Amino acid sequence: MRSFEYVRPSSVSEAIAAAAEPGSVYLAAGTNLLDLMKGGVIRPDRLVDITRLPGLDRIEPLPDGGLRIGALVRNADLAHDPNFFRAYPAIAEALLAGASAQLRNAATVSGNLLQRTRCGYFYDTASACNKRQRGAGCDARQGENRSHAVLGWSDACIATHPSDFCVPLVALDAVVEIEGRSGRREIPIEALHRLPGETPDVESALEPGDLIVAVRLPADAAGFAAHERYLKLRDRTSYAFAVVSAVAALDMDGGKIRRARIALGGVAAKPWRAHAAEQVLAGSDADAAAFRHAAELALADARPSGENGFKIELARRIVARSLALAAAGTPERLPALPASPFSSAPGACHAA
Amino acid sequence: MNFPISLIINGERRDLELTDPRVTLLDLLRERLNLTGTKKGCDRGQCGACTVLVDGRRINSCLALAVSHDGADILTIEGVSQGAELHPVQAAFIAHDGFQCGFCTPGQIMSAIGLIQEGQAGDDPERVREGMSGNLCRCGAYVGITDAVLEAQQHLKAANRRNAA
């Protein structure tokens, strides 16, 4: 690992000033950052340690019925908060479907949002990668790309965003609170991550020095709690990134759907909201035909970026099945294998 | 530039001067403090061999910068037994053959202690397996490990009841 300067600011404004200098990166838990630095994938000059900044580790209910989650809240603490699970069960399920217990104990909310792709060519410094080095080319295009993007990709980059947590956050219209050199602003989380286009090295809407201080859930995000599920297909049932994942959140009126929220993970460089699929479900019956139709719409623009055409039909099935699971109702307690399409119950049907 | 840090390691306060900010908690334990029970497997957060408890929570010490953990209370495998008396999780690993080569075992045991303290798995073997998925065992002793965790948990529960009575 290349050496770096270590600074530990005591206030948000000090942190922003230090991080705005070229070559600086923020350090929270470091679970992704250190891995990248050990591999020489990123080589920062300065680490700005934000773990001691005051006031960023709280989960605060807001007067309007929303919830504010501090940037330094640990993934495990959020997922296991009983009030949080009752109001946003699919977010808790997504968190517990990600990484391992050790990593969830360390990893933070903002770190999860800003984690980098797990594309093997981004990690392998001997390979060409436009994300690592603008204009270098993309070895993933002709390489091992079965897990790569099927939506929103470009010739320059076919990497996916690896987060589970971000998928239900996008579906539920979460807002990201940012402190920067010109003060505080907020953006919808759907606008945080960028599609690659010609500049896959530009991954987010953040400017130099920008610090995510909180993620906020609007009041109506808790209105789906009775009918929401996250479903994640992986190459192994635990401790693996998604091949394809989806969240479905329904606001039900008997057997009819009032409102639907749908987003997918593992399919694009950002968590992928399926607005058209949501709209077609509003006012519709909650049945298999409606779910399949919604799934078709969600993947309408999908195309393979390599040997990954199977992900398109897989994603349709995961969307349809997450809708069916959501319609059946949120379980009182998460299953033993959170978000898994496979059940440990003997005799359970595994067919999508 | 030097970085003075202070840690509680296995109950003992250690005041240390770091000459390099790159030192991970894992390398500090192994190379500087000679606590080599904590193992370096992948060094990238994928295998769990380096698991320790920091302020009571299990984490991968290979992905933790020592300088960022100034003030932390750290428990390693060297600190879990009471003199010659093994920790109930250690005893259960022996009773259930929860290892073969032993390289992953310190990490497995620290992770199991963390899992039991978290209290999320109950007595469901599937939840124990899921909660232990951050610890790989290339000898494949998973069946024994799961049995050991379940038994140790029962043992600790019974001991807590006795202490409360």
pLDDT at residue number A288: 97
**Closest C-alpha to B63, from A7, A116, A49, A33:** A33
Interface test with chain A among B133, B137, B150, by most A beta carbons within 10 Å: B133
Convert the pLDDT of each residue in A32-49 to its tens digit. Answer: 999 999 999 999 999 999
- Angle of helix B105-118 versus helix B88-95 axis, rounded to 10: 120
Chain A residues touching B22 at Cβ < 8 A:
1, 3-4
Cβ <8 Å between B64 and A30? yes
pLDDT at residue number A20: 98
Chain B residues touching A31 at Cβ < 8 A:
45, 60, 63
Average pLDDT over residues A210-236: 98
Instruction: Work out the mean pLDDT of chain B and round it to a whole number.
Output: 97
**Res A351 pLDDT > 60:** no
Convert the pLDDT of each residue in A227-238 to its tens digit. Answer: 999 999 999 999
- Rounded-to-integer distance, Cα A288 and Cα B127, Å: 31
- Rounded-to-integer distance, Cα B149 and Cα B140, Å: 15
**Res A244 pLDDT > 90:** yes
Topology (CATH level 3) of domain B88-164: DNA polymerase; domain 1 (1.10.150)
- Rounded-to-integer distance, Cα A267 and Cα A295, Å: 14
Convert the pLDDT of each residue in A84-118 to its tens digit. Answer: 999 999 999 999 999 999 999 999 999 999 999 99
- The share of chain A scoring above pLDDT 70, in percent, equals 97
pLDDT at residue number A348: 63
Strands B3-9, B73-75: pairing kind? parallel
pTM above 0.95, yes or no: yes
Is residue A268 included in any domain, yes or no? yes
Q: Considering only the beta carbons, identify the residue of B65, B68, B134 that sits closest to A239.
A: B134
Is residue A27 included in any domain, yes or no? yes
Residue ranges, comma separated, of all CATH 1.10.150.120 domains in chain B are 88-164
Is residue A75 included in any domain, yes or no? no
Helix boundaries (H) for chain B: 25-27, 88-95, 105-118, 125-131, 142-164
**Closest C-alpha to A7, from B161, B21, B62:** B21
- Rounded-to-integer distance, Cα A215 and Cα A171, Å: 14
**Closest C-alpha to B142, from B39, B48, B77:** B48
- Rounded-to-integer distance, Cα B122 and Cα A239, Å: 20
Convert the pLDDT of each residue in A3-62 to its tens digit. Answer: 999 999 999 999 999 999 999 999 999 999 999 999 999 999 999 999 999 999 999 999
- Rounded-to-integer distance, Cα A47 and Cα A63, Å: 36
Distance of CA A13 to the CA centre of its chain: 27
Instruction: Phi first, then psi: give them for residue B33, nearest 5 degrees.
Output: -105, 0
Cβ <8 Å between B111 and A338? no
Is residue A203 included in any domain, yes or no? no
Cβ <8 Å between A4 and B131? no
Residue written as token pair 């799934």: A295
Categorize the per-residue pLDDT at B1 as very low, low, confident or very high, splitting at 50, 70 and 90: confident
Cβ <8 Å between A337 and B130? yes
Chain B residues touching A336 at Cβ < 8 A:
124, 126-127, 130
What is the CB neighbour count within 10 angstroms for residue A289? 10
Cβ <8 Å between A105 and B48? no
Enumerate residues 6+ apart whose C-beta is below 8 A from A280: A290, A293, A294, A297
Q: What is the CATH number of the domain that holds A26?
A: 3.30.43.10
Is residue B22 within 8 angstroms of chain A, CB to CB?
yes
**Res A159 pLDDT > 60:** yes
How many domains would you assign to chain A? 2
Burial of residue A313 (number of CB atoms within 10 Å: 0-12, 13-18, 19+): middle
Per-residue burial over B144-158, b if 16 or more Cβ lie within 10 Å, else e, is: bbbbbbbbbbeebee
Q: For residue A204, what is the DSSP state?
A: B
pLDDT at residue number A347: 61
pLDDT at residue number A346: 63
Is residue B134 within 8 angstroms of chain A, CB to CB?
yes
Cβ <8 Å between B133 and A239? yes
Tokens of A234: 């992986």
**Res A352 pLDDT > 50:** no
Q: Is A13 helix (H, G, I), strand (E, B) or coil?
A: helix
- Rounded-to-integer distance, Cα B116 and Cα B96, Å: 17
Question: If you count residue pairs, one on A and one on B, with CB atoms under 8 Å apart, how many are there?
Answer: 95
Tokens of B119: 């209290």
Cβ <8 Å between A106 and B59? yes
- Interface confidence: ipTM more than 0.95: yes
Residue ranges, comma separated, of all CATH 3.10.20.30 domains in chain B are 3-79
Distance of CA B152 to the CA centre of its chain: 15
Average pLDDT over residues A112-137: 98
Q: Considering only the beta carbons, identify the residue of A99, A239, A344 that sits closest to B126.
A: A344
Cβ <8 Å between A100 and B22? no
pLDDT at residue number A325: 97
Strands A24-27, A211-217: pairing kind? unpaired
Is residue A123 within 8 angstroms of chain B, CB to CB?
no
What is the CB neighbour count within 10 angstroms for residue A236? 7
Chain A residues touching B1 at Cβ < 8 A:
5
- Rounded-to-integer distance, Cα B21 and Cα B23, Å: 6
- Rounded-to-integer distance, Cα A154 and Cα A142, Å: 14
Convert the pLDDT of each residue in A251-270 to its tens digit. Answer: 999 999 999 999 999 999 99
Is residue A77 included in any domain, yes or no? no
Is residue B117 within 8 angstroms of chain A, CB to CB?
no
Average pLDDT over residues B44-50: 98
Instruction: Phi first, then psi: give them for residue A96, nearest 5 degrees.
Output: -80, -10
Is residue A16 included in any domain, yes or no? yes
Domain membership of residue A305 as a residue range = 224-328
**Res B14 pLDDT > 80:** yes
Enumerate residues 6+ apart whose C-beta is below 8 A from A208: A19, A20, A22, A24, A181
Average pLDDT over residues A277-303: 98
Average pLDDT over residues B68-80: 98
Is residue A191 included in any domain, yes or no? no
Average pLDDT over residues B85-90: 98
Is residue A119 included in any domain, yes or no? no
Burial of residue A22 (number of CB atoms within 10 Å: 0-12, 13-18, 19+): exposed
For residue A30, give the amino acid letter.
G
- Rounded-to-integer distance, Cα A271 and Cα A164, Å: 8
Is residue B56 within 8 angstroms of chain A, CB to CB?
no
Categorize the per-residue pLDDT at A350 as very low, low, confident or very high, splitting at 50, 70 and 90: low
- The answer to whether domain B3-79 has CATH 3.10.580.10 is no
- Rounded-to-integer distance, Cα A304 and Cα A325, Å: 27
Interface test with chain B among A7, A102, A340, by most B beta carbons within 10 Å: A102
pLDDT at residue number B148: 98
Return left, alpha or beta for A202; rule: phi > 0 is left, psi -120 to 50 is alpha, else beta.
beta
Cβ <8 Å between B124 and A336? yes
**Closest C-alpha to A96, from A331, A348, A255:** A331
Is residue B88 within 8 angstroms of chain A, CB to CB?
no
pLDDT at residue number A207: 97
Chain A residues touching B24 at Cβ < 8 A:
34
